[in-house]
Amino acid sequence: MGKTAEKAGFLGFSIDVWMYLLLGLGAVLTTVDLVLAFLFAPLVLGAGAGGTAVINGVAVSNQLLLSQKIFFFHVPVAISSFLVILFAAYYSIRFLMTRDKGFDIKARVATEVTLMLVVLTLITGDLWTRYEWDAWWVWEPRLTTYFILTLLVAGYFVLRNSVEDEERRAVYAAVFCIIAAVDAPISFMITRLVPTKMHPVVLRSGGGLTGIQLLAFLLGMFGMLMIAWVVFKLRERQEFASERIEALKAARES
Amino acid sequence: MELRTKEMLTSMGLYALLVLLVYHLAFSQVDSYDVTPIGAGLLWLAIVFTSLLGLNRSLVHEKDQGCLEALLLSPIDRPVIFFGKAAGNLLFLLIVEVIIVPLFHFLFLQNIEMSGAVWMLALALFVGSLGIAGVGTLLATMSVNTKGKDFILAVLFVPVMFPLLYAMVAALSAVITGEVLFPGEWVGEYWRALGLGAGYDAIMLLIAFGLYEFIIGA
């Protein structure tokens, strides 16, 4: 990442400007998503507020219907986490191909963002399962594979901290990141492969989203991706800057 | 080599035996117990623990005596080194399984009439062991060069292997108690689980094979 990269921009704005624009836009979109979700999106399957509704022949209380609102936050975060770890794996492959230290930093920062998203997903998912399934945790395929993903991402950092040699650390981390990323598509597909009727399959044709629900969901999705990208970019900046400072320090001492 | 083989086999076999002994601890407070429903899981647990020990040992020796450097210097293709190490680990694992599986049956599943044939059991064990040895070799080669060594191996190995073990426990469970738990359906269940496990093996072995060169060169 030299000077040329910093000056490069898109549509006349520099990356810096885009970063803050997208951060603002992402924040606005996710907020609008939540406002829409709570104030405008109808309750699932057109149930009315107040009392209970009958869904698939089962009486469901309002508490459950409202707990569904977390969908508008939980799903965008979860999907972002899958996408970001795939980016981390992509940067890891690039690193192994080029041995360019920049790609190592990018892969690490992307994995950090994944860790953040994964933890958010687990927390929001947990809040939902508490009301929906009456348990904080259920050993259900989607939850299990996602838990595995969390452990893999955590293991990535444990591995990094445990290798002293810098070059070796980067290579090991890249290899492990690629292996860990295999779990992301598995976890994404598992509700389709092993249907247990517990964790809902959201993205499918003929899914039950009405117009305003779909709008809110898509806004949240894009907003969350923008935020993830900006967080990635900011952390990347910081890492590259500290890298340069270290290099300058070393140059000054010698 | 001869000496090391003996040492590895005795330590792995003994360790597996100890794991089985500790299992009994879990059931020691009930008069009569039936472990059949969880038998497959317990058996795989013993195999996982034993393989963790074996994988770590197999590479620590290499590192301590500088064998890995010697191997790298010798005019062999790097992928061949991976196959050699993985095949060695697979062989050890299979030998240990030949000892502990009948022992497990003798200690915990004596009165059970197994649903499947012995070859079905052996096939499930083989598919699982193949993945454990392949990916385990890659991860162990990484972990011996870290500060944490066996701890790192466990932290990386268990989650990576989880999907495979999940499928293999399902397959083994179908073989052991299929007729009782899912009468009529267990054969299909067995092949489905085996297929999933074999698919995971194929993907993971391909990745491990492709990436081993980077690990060993670093």
pLDDT tens across the length of chain B (218 residues): 556 677 888 888 888 889 988 988 888 887 777 788 888 899 999 999 999 988 888 887 777 777 777 777 777 777 788 888 899 899 989 999 998 888 888 888 877 777 778 888 899 999 999 999 999 999 998 998 888 778 899 999 999 999 899 889 988 888 888 777 777 778 888 888 899 999 999 999 999 988 888 888 77
pLDDT above 80 (res A37): no
B159, B207, B208 ranked by CB distance to A155: nearest:
B159
Q: Which residues 167-196 in chain A show a CB within 8 A of chain B?
A: 167-168, 171-172, 174-176, 178-180, 182-183, 186
Reduced to 3 states (helix: H, G, I; strand: E, B; else coil), residue A61 is strand
Q: Is A96's CB within 8 Å of B163's CB? A: no
Does A164 contact B at CB distance below 8 Å?
A: yes
> What DSSP letter does each residue of A178-233 carry, written as one string?
HHHHTHHHHHHHHHHHS--SSSPP-SSTT-S--HHHHHHHHHHHHHHHHHHHHHHH
Query: What six digits make up the tokens of B31?
Result: 């008069």
Q: State residue B199's pLDDT score.
A: 92
**Residues in B touching A171 (Cβ below 8 Å):** 214-215, 217-218
Distance from CA of B10 to the nearest CA of A (A): 30
Distance CA A178, CA A96 (A): 11
CA proximity to B55, closest of B79, B20, B80, B90: B90
Model pLDDT for residues A121-153, shown as the tens digit of each residue: 998 888 878 777 777 787 878 888 889 999 999
**Residues in B touching A144 (Cβ below 8 Å):** 162, 166
Q: State residue A106's pLDDT score.
A: 92
Q: State residue A219's pLDDT score.
A: 81
Taking each helix axis from N to C terminus, what angle separates B150-181 and A183-193, rounded to the nearest 10 degrees?
Answer: 20
Tokens 């489905």 label which residue?
A: B192
Which of A172, A177, A182, A183 is the best residue to mutate to test the B interface, defined by the most B CB atoms within 10 Å of its own CB? A172
pLDDT above 90 (res A17): no
Q: State residue A158's pLDDT score.
A: 93
pLDDT above 80 (res A199): no
Q: What is the mean pLDDT of residues A39-62?
A: 55
Q: Is B147's CB within 8 Å of A163's CB? A: yes
Q: State residue B3's pLDDT score.
A: 62
Tokens 């009958």 label which residue?
A: A54
**Residues in B touching A175 (Cβ below 8 Å):** 138, 142, 211, 214-215
Does B38 contact A at CB distance below 8 Å?
A: no
Q: State residue A201's pLDDT score.
A: 63
Distance from CA of A102 to the nearest CA of B (A): 18
Does B71 contact A at CB distance below 8 Å?
A: no
Chain A residue closest in CA terms to B163: A145
A164 pLDDT band, cuts 50/70/90, is confident
